[in-house]
Amino acid sequence: TPLSLTGFGGLMWYRPLTLQHALDLKAKYPDAKLIVGNSEVGIEMRLKRLQYRVLVSVTHVPELNVLNVKDDGLEIGAAVRLSDLLSVLRKVVTERDVHETSSCRALIEQLKWFAGTQIRNAASIGGNICTASPISDLNPLWMAVGANFRIIDSKGNSRTTLAENFFLGYRKVDLASSEILLSVFLPWNKRFEYVKEFKQSHRRDDDIAIVNAGLRIHLQETSEIWVVADASIAYGGVAPCSLSAKKTKDFLIGKVWDQNLLQDALKVLQNDIILKEDAPGGMVEFRKSLTLSFFFKFFLWVSHQLD
């Protein structure tokens, strides 16, 4: 049944069972906070003492919980829990052609190091995306894999945007107060398209990243030479939000994939990701070197795939 509870200080908590009811609540209370796992909002309210008047728990809205395997990719509802996404990705990689699931394998690896089991069982992909943490482990990957976000407003109108264009600034995303994230579309990979995830943190298990990344390259073979047809390089932990290394991407496209490219790309990348001496988070030299070493590792890994 739909629930509506009133709490201390006039707090209102709703649990709609339909998308329409959730959207109606958003129309009535534009500042309503959607919650799924409450792993971000709970901390904001208890530890940061932020006050929200209306909470809408969307865990039971069917449209937000879809996990549809389609011909061109995977449709993932915004309220899907990380553990459920992980199970479907694991199934998909056994069922589809191996070249189609490079992004899936990168997501699986990154999810393994995302929090612990309890958080992964409760936390949603939409909650992670909309929080737009600068060290989100998944957002650089959504950008790199070319994911599309479907957004719906309280009148039921929907639009899509590339993950790459969604993160605007520190915890700021391209969502109006009348809009919610409906789903994420993860496209399958093309032949000779390779995706890899990276995360460096202090501890291996259950720790937040110092720097993380999602890297993708699409290569084409012309007379036994591999040429870069497309690329995407996104980092977390180096800016107020997940950041695409656009100059490096532009540099790579059309280039021959060889040792020279590696050396030149590292130089471009060094000037593409700028961390000021006093950047929040500190460890500036370390973080700069991580951005380069992730690319270096990616280069070696991709080259090995081509052998």
Residues binding ligand FAD (CB under 6 A): 33-41, 43, 78, 114-115, 119, 122-124, 126-128, 130-131, 136-138, 180-181, 208
Distances (CA, A) of 10 to 42, 54, 55, 115: 17, 9, 11, 33
Nearer to ligand FAD, 137 or 153 (CB): 137
In whole angstroms, the minimum distance from the beta carbon of 112 to ligand FAD comes to 10
Contact yes or no for 243/234 (Cβ under 8 A): yes
In whole angstroms, the minimum distance from the beta carbon of 54 to ligand FAD comes to 11
Nearer to ligand FAD, 54 or 275 (CB): 54
In whole angstroms, the minimum distance from the beta carbon of 32 to ligand FAD comes to 8
Which residue of this chain has its Cβ atom nearest to ligand FAD in the complex?
127
Q: What are the backbone angles phi and psi of residue 176, rounded to the nearest 5°?
A: -80, 165
Pairing of strands 12-15, 54-57: parallel
Nearer to ligand FAD, 46 or 304 (CB): 46
User: Distance between CA atoms of 90 and 255, rounded to whole angstroms?
Assistant: 34
Nearer to ligand FAD, 206 or 258 (CB): 206
Pairing of strands 73-77, 179-187: antiparallel
Residues 6+ apart with CB under 8 A from 132: 139, 167, 170, 171, 172, 173, 241, 242
In whole angstroms, the minimum distance from the beta carbon of 122 to ligand FAD comes to 6
Amino acid identity, position 116: G
Radius of gyration in angstroms for the set of CA atoms belonging to the chain, rounded to a whole number: 20
Task: Output the six-digit token pair for 301.
Answer: 């890994």
Q: Which of 213, 228, 229 is nearest to 258 (CA)?
A: 228
Nearer to ligand FAD, 43 or 225 (CB): 43
In whole angstroms, the minimum distance from the beta carbon of 156 to ligand FAD comes to 15
Q: Which of 183, 168, 241, 177 is nearest to 33 (CA)?
A: 177
Show the CA angle centred on residue 84, arms to residues 82 and 86, nearest 5°: 70
User: Distance between CA atoms of 89 and 74, rounded to whole angstroms?
Assistant: 9
Nearer to ligand FAD, 172 or 267 (CB): 172
Q: What are the backbone angles phi and psi of residue 25, rounded to the nearest 5°?
A: -65, -40
Nearer to ligand FAD, 114 or 167 (CB): 114
In whole angstroms, the minimum distance from the beta carbon of 283 to ligand FAD comes to 18
In whole angstroms, the minimum distance from the beta carbon of 282 to ligand FAD comes to 19
In whole angstroms, the minimum distance from the beta carbon of 6 to ligand FAD comes to 19
Nearer to ligand FAD, 124 or 189 (CB): 124
Q: Which of 234, 241, 244 is nearest to 168 (CA)?
A: 241
